[in-house]
Amino acid sequence: MANCAMSNTTIVLFTDLDDTLFQLQRHRSAGIYPATHTPTQQHISYQTVSQQLLFELFYQQNHVTIIPVTARSLRQYHNTFLSHLPRINIAVLYFGGLIWEENQPNPDWQHHVYHSFQQLSQSIQQLSSEIKQFLHVHQLKFTLNNTDGYYLTVRADAKTPASDQAALFQEMIGLSSGEYIHHYQRRNLVLLPKFIDKRYAVKFLLEKQGANLHLAMGDSLNDLSFMQLCDVRLIPKNTQIDTLLFNSNL
């Protein structure tokens, strides 16, 4: 198992992916190194020179284990360059809903998450149906997506003013039970069960390996929960966390 191999590792880097190690081309035109691709092999996200250098700084060190921690689904993760690298054997996916270890789900974590889903009084499917009905009644051209049963995303129509987006998202949040939390960034709303959190999955991995130093890297506020578990935190500039801490301009 990968956690056995990690027992001799001195450093572990838990890192977010999107807007941390790479980003969509339209979000940052300086990106030049392809980082993701579509099923038709079209590149969507890119790394800047500085992002590529930062990643290589850690990846080239044999005593460093890199563990991606991302909201991406398994399919979306497989579209990233990291999923094809031989020394990256563990990834935290779906905001922590799945720990992908040696090309299969970690069975202990999978059992824990499955049991937690069984305890929900309002299932993901039920919440999805209620939001779908809300969008229909209000004739909204928002995009609703159920991400493999782990969480829901709602993407607002670009023509909807930001103030209206916030109000509509708030109404959708009100449709969820107290068993759910939400994240809101740009035009996207994410609704997920409270037991789905990057922090819990990272904590599970921390308890199973014996590294001497744990590093964390992330850009958004929802990354803070797992970053706080680690010894050192790396924060890219011009991100949500950077703005919160240093009041820089996005």
**pLDDT tens column, 25-64:** 755 666 688 899 877 667 789 999 999 999 999 999 999 9
Percent of the residues in the chain that have a pLDDT greater than 90, as a whole number? 75
Distance CA 119, CA 121 (A): 6
Q: What is the value of pTM for the model shown?
A: 0.90
Has residue 130 got a pLDDT over 70? yes
Note the pLDDT tens digit of each residue in 142-197: 999 999 999 999 999 988 998 899 999 999 999 999 999 999 877 999 999 999 99
Contact at 8 Å (CB) between 123 and 158? no
Q: What domains sit in the chain, N to C, each tagged with a CATH number?
A: 2-97+196-246 (3.40.50.1000), 120-193 (3.30.70)
Number of Cβ atoms within 10 Å of the Cβ of 137: 8
Q: What is the token pair recorded at 141?
A: 């051209």
Note the pLDDT tens digit of each residue in 183-224: 987 799 999 999 999 999 999 999 987 789 999 999 998 899
Beta strand pairing call for 11-15 and 64-68: parallel
Has residue 4 got a pLDDT over 60? no
Q: What is the pLDDT of residue 248?
A: 52
> HEC profile for 47-97?
ECHHHHHHHHHHHCCCCEEEEEECCCCHHHHHCEHHHHCCCCCEEEEHHHC
Contact at 8 Å (CB) between 194 and 181? yes
What are the C-alpha distances in Å from 174 to residues 112, 152, 167?
27, 14, 11
